[in-house]
Amino acid sequence: MKVAQEFSRYAPYYNNYNVIQNKVAKKLVSDMRVKPKKILDLGCGRGAIYNEISWELESFLGVDFAKGMLEQHPQAKNITCKYGDFNKEAFFEDLKDENFDYIISASALQWSDDLDFVFKSLASFEVPLSLAIFTCKTFDTLYKTAKLKPLLRCSDSIIENAKVYFDASYELVSYTLEFESKKELFRYIKRSGVSGNRGVLDYKQTKALMQEYPHKSLEFEVLFMHSIPKMFFF
Ligand SMILES: C[S@@+](CC[C@H](N)C(=O)[O-])C[C@H]1O[C@@H](n2cnc3c(N)ncnc32)[C@H](O)[C@@H]1O
Q: Mean pLDDT check: name the lowest of 34-48, 87-101, 177-191.
A: 177-191
For residue 230, the model assigns a pLDDT of 64
**What whole-number distance in Å separates Cα of residue 135 and Cα of residue 172?**
9
CA–centroid distance, 195 to ligand 1, in Å, is 12
**What whole-number distance in Å separates Cα of residue 82 and Cα of residue 156?**
32
How many Å separate Cα 117 from the centre of its chain?
17
Write phi, then psi, for 203 (nearest 5 degrees).
Answer: -60, -45
Q: Give pLDDT tens digits for 128-173.
A: 999 999 999 999 999 899 888 898 999 999 999 999 999 999 999 9
Confidence of residue 231 (pLDDT cuts 50, 70, 90): low
The arithmetic mean of pLDDT across residues 58-65, rounded, is: 97
The arithmetic mean of pLDDT across residues 193-211, rounded, is: 70
Domain count, the chain: 1
The arithmetic mean of pLDDT across residues 195-200, rounded, is: 57
For residue 155, the model assigns a pLDDT of 98
Q: Which domain, by its residues, includes 175?
A: 2-233
CA–centroid distance, 8 to ligand 1, in Å, is 22
Pocket of ligand 1 (CB under 6 A): 18, 21, 25, 43-45, 48-49, 64-66, 69, 84-87, 106-108, 111, 193
**What whole-number distance in Å separates Cα of residue 103 and Cα of residue 93?**
15
* CATH number, domain with residue 90: 3.40.50.150
